[in-house]
Amino acid sequence: MSRNTIQQDIICSTVKSMSTHPSPDEVFEALHKEYPSIGRATVYRVLNKLANKGEIKKVNLPHTADRFDFRTDDHIHIHCKKCNRVFDVDFHAIEGLIDYLDKVLTLNNPLKINGFEITGANFSFEGICKDCRHNKQDTV
């Protein structure tokens, strides 16, 4: 039912080579020079398909467009509200948080919160990144 195509391979390996949490358009731009025949709509469709298959992940951030992450392990993101970039949080003091969230989910799942079937929890930090703090005059 599902077919393998060259486009899917190219899009998959492109997004997996980008550590910047790219938007679909950024993935499109990254492969467009080398593969100008691949269309924007295909990039959108394939990225969502890869995310549904679990090959990559959609980053769960409020108030910004979709981005994708080649890392599929649980980790936390921090979003710069000024330059709109996204970074991984790899700080030891955060380590307990994911375990805590897991515990909360386990305690309350399934169907314990307002009759919901909980399928996930979203957590992220937001702030101003190092670069933007050091360049306060810039609009970025």
Partner DNA sequence: GTCCATGCAAAGACTTTGCACTGGT
Partner DNA sequence: ACCAGTGCAAAGTCTTTGCATGGAC
Residues that bind a copy of itself (CB under 8 A): 58-63, 66, 78, 80-81, 87, 89-91, 93-94, 97, 100, 104, 107-108, 111-130, 133
- Is residue 65 within the footprint of DNA (CB under 7 A)? yes
- Cα–Cα distance measured from residue 56 to residue 42, given in angstroms and rounded to the nearest whole number: 16
- Cα–Cα distance measured from residue 79 to residue 63, given in angstroms and rounded to the nearest whole number: 10
Answer with the entry of DNA, a copy of itself, none that 127 interacts with (C-beta below 5 to 8 A by kind): a copy of itself
Q: Which of 6, 97, 104, 113 binds DNA (CB under 7 A)?
A: 6
Q: Which residue pairs, CB below 8 angstroms and at least 24 apart, start in 135-138?
A: none
Q: Which is nearer to DNA, 109 or 124 (CB)?
A: 124
Q: Which is nearer to DNA, 15 or 24 (CB)?
A: 24
- Is residue 22 within the footprint of DNA (CB under 7 A)? no
Query: What one-letter code names the amino acid at 20?
Result: T
Q: H or E stretch including 131? A: helix 130-134
78 is written with which tokens? 């921090």
Q: SS3 of 32, please?
A: helix
Q: SS3 of 69, please?
A: strand
Q: SS3 of 78, please?
A: strand
- Crossing angle of helices 24-32 and 40-53, in 10° steps, is 120
Q: Which of 42, 60, 109, 124 binds DNA (CB under 7 A)?
A: 42
CB of 51 to a copy of itself, least distance (A): 11
Answer with the entry of a copy of itself, DNA, none that 112 interacts with (C-beta below 5 to 8 A by kind): a copy of itself
- Interaction site with DNA (CB under 7 A): 1-8, 23-25, 37-42, 44-46, 48, 65-66
